[in-house]
Structure 1
Amino acid sequence: MDTDALRWFQQVADGVTVTEVSEVEGVSQPGISRALARLEAEIGTPLLRRSGRTLRMTHAGSAFKRHVDALLHQLDDGLAAVEQVIEPDTGTVALAFQVSLGTWLVPDLVRGFRREWPRVHFALTQVGDDGGPAVLARGDADLVLSTVATQDPAVVRQRLFDEPLRLAVPADHPLAGRSEVRLADVAAEPFLMLRAGSALRRLCDELCHAAGFTPTVGFESEDVHTVRGFVGAGLGVALVPGSDRGAAGAPASLRYLTVVDVPAVREIALSWPAERRLLPAAELFRQHVIERARTGRITPPT
């Protein structure tokens, strides 16, 4: 049904004349009368009857009016909810991020953005290494922060910066007193790794091969927190994100060394749908993140 016709019926039923509705709505009186007639034809019975110069509801009109009031009330609530979503200063940003970026990068970006836009809300979702394109395709997220490249033409990917990987060793390790290390120097050490197939595991394997050896895997874990804990316990060494050393709960029993013989970095990027226009709040956050990266104002904790 034509919602304009429903609103005009509601106003006339409440005692507003067709002339007054015409003046307020900027629609001709015949146009309003025709819309009301089409509404009655859809319902199948007269809803209004003329009494002198005014229109009164019929019994059917009175029964229908209660439901029209409820319907338009819910419709207005829905429109208000949408307005909150699309308004840049009160909207919602649906942000998905790779788990390992949640310890510092996501909080830092959100905190910086909300200094300027304090009423914007965030719907945050953690995704697996390869989950970014899927959540964008489903519409579950507006933006994705990830270290995983994609060839999906439906996704735009903007490189933000390269995060160094460090070699984590126990505090009592013979190399612990150094600030730099060649990865080849620990070729004989057991490596504590993330599970096979994860993005960080693939990168660690590639770096070890570039340094001239195949790592001996001493333990595989689902998360970096467990890996660094086992390094602190003296079970081996590990390549971990450079920001890990400043993360909350990072063991004091670790030392983090800069790797100098291979390019030990991982690329962090922001992705969004290629063909779906971002809502205003999400677009503002996208611009905020890219500008922070462009001006070098994204700094991992040390």
Structure 2
Amino acid sequence: MELRHLRYFSTLAGSLNFTRAAERLHVTQSTLSHQIKQLEDELGTQLFDRSGKRVALTEAGEAFLHHATRALQEIDRGLGALRDNPQEAAGELRIGSTPTFNLGFIPDCIAAFQPRYPGVRVVVEELAADLIAQRLQEGTLDLGIAYRPAIPGPLQFEPLYNEEMVLVVAQGHPLARRKRVRMVELHRLPMVLLPASFATRQMLDECFRS
């Protein structure tokens, strides 16, 4: 059982509506449903009754909600104490990042993070997005910085910023003076691309297929 299971359960118990709960958690309904099913499987009991038109807590769900709420309150108090006294934080933070973000974004974040949390050792691994998603589910990474993988799985995503994708060509190339290029114009042109395992390559492949 992980912290996200408790937060997902508590949020759904508060609204008794998968759509609203998923919106509050910034995840898809399928992800929320999957996480709740994981929690129920681990506990060996059904927490929500989904048989009718409305979602309802079962008797076991009502009992578990009381304890889950208290646990989350204690965790939030602990996190608040760490925010108020960051010098007391210790341990290891394991980050998976795709190569693009290691050029500037990750170093800038670590430079701002470490003076505030000197007791935390930060470990950064350069990985493809799909492998980052896999490692997060396995629990061998704490967080990942990457483009959204093709198969996101039961993970929570938080957008950081938008980035423009541009075409780089030689000065003498027929497209060099163009401000915009349609994907269809790149069809069958020789191009240098990342391997198929990278999310940006998968995004481009999907655009070409469209």
TM-score for the superposition, normalised by structure 2: 0.48
Higher strand proportion (structure 1 or 2):
1
Specify which structure has the bigger relative contact order, considering alpha-carbon pairs within 8 angstroms and separated by 6 or more residues.
1
Larger radius of gyration: 1
TM-score (norm 1): 0.35
